[in-house]
Amino acid sequence: MKKLTYLLLTLLVIVSCKENATTSIQEENQKEEITTPPQKEITDPKETEIWDPEPKAVSFNDINVPSDAIQLFNGNDLDQWISTKDSTTAAWTINPDKTMTVKPGTGDIQTKENFGSVQLHLEWKAPDIVKGEGQGRGNSGVFFQNKYEVQILDSYQNRTYANGQATSIYKQHIPLVNATKPNDQWQTYDIIFHTPTFSADGKKTKSGSFTVIHNGVLVQDHVEILGSTEYIGPPKNEPHGKGPIKLQDHSNPVHYRNIWIRELK
């Protein structure tokens, strides 16, 4: 009997404590409701204006290069480039009309400078004579960090595997449409590249991404980079830091002009 009375008393104390706690939370809430003033309606448009920081003004030169870009090819020389295979002077041909052309057999060329995430603009034109089929017609390519290729190919009325045509992320992403112009016309690529990131122990912590605009048309919409763009086999994900921009010598005399880059922070 004594035990039962004790148990009942204990229960009574617990219930009463709980009630007190609930009451104090309710009281607290009520107090907050009373002290928080009602949101006042915004009627002045100025109240939602933000003035700082002010974006820096960018100007443009006669060929529309933004003043905060690095000109990788200005039509006069290949000073920003070296041969990929032996780091010697890039041996592609500079033409009198301020364009350059792949010199087949001399190999890929790459920038001296290394880059992380970037915006890249380049203009290219397929070889003057339409020759070859599929991957053999007007093939070149622009690589980011020496690992990730956006395909350059004369894909005008030239069928090949879809994840290998112009503006494909080679063997990873098919372009949304084929915006390739015929070989007698210059074409633009505007590419936003976000670098993948890796932890100190070499694991990929965030995938990179590509957005590609071809002749003003969106063809890759922030697609995930699955790893290096391999000719044979699946993508690889070896850790790396910044790397050069590389242009491919695929034995076809593809023309280039007006290449510039802006680093993204």
58-87: which residues touch Mg ion (CB under 5 A)?
none
Nearer to Mg ion, 69 or 141 (CB): 141
Task: Count CA within 13 A, CB hemisphere, residue 134.
Answer: 6
Q: Report phi then psi at 115, rounded to 5.
A: -130, 155
Minimal distance, residue 142 CB to Mg ion, in Å: 9
Distance CA 39, CA 20 (A): 32
Minimal distance, residue 49 CB to Mg ion, in Å: 48
* Piece in contact with Mg ion (CB under 5 A), picked from 113-121, 177-185, 216-224, 246-254: 246-254
Cα 222 to its chain centre, rounded Å, is 7
Nearer to Mg ion, 69 or 149 (CB): 149
130-149: which residues touch Mg ion (CB under 5 A)?
139, 141
Helix boundaries (H) for the chain: 2-35
Neighbours of 63 (CB within 10 A): 13
- Interacting residues of 164 by C-beta distance below 8 A, sequence separation 6+: 135, 151, 153, 170, 171
Here the tokens at position 21 are 């706690």
Handedness of CA 152, 157, 163, 169 (dihedral sign): positive
Coil, helix or strand at residue 128? coil
Minimal distance, residue 140 CB to Mg ion, in Å: 6
196 is an interface residue for Mg ion by CB under 5 A: no
Handedness of CA 60, 101, 214, 168 (dihedral sign): negative
Nearer to Mg ion, 134 or 239 (CB): 134
Nearer to Mg ion, 99 or 252 (CB): 252
* Piece in contact with Mg ion (CB under 5 A), picked from 20-28, 55-63, 190-198, 248-256: 248-256
Nearer to Mg ion, 80 or 229 (CB): 229
Minimal distance, residue 119 CB to Mg ion, in Å: 21
Draw the binding track, 206-245, toward Mg ion (x: CB under 5 A; -: no contact). Answer: ----------------------------------------
- How many residues in the shown chain lie near Mg ion by CB under 5 A? 3
Coil, helix or strand at residue 183? coil
Residues lying near Mg ion in the complex (CB under 5 A): 139, 141, 248
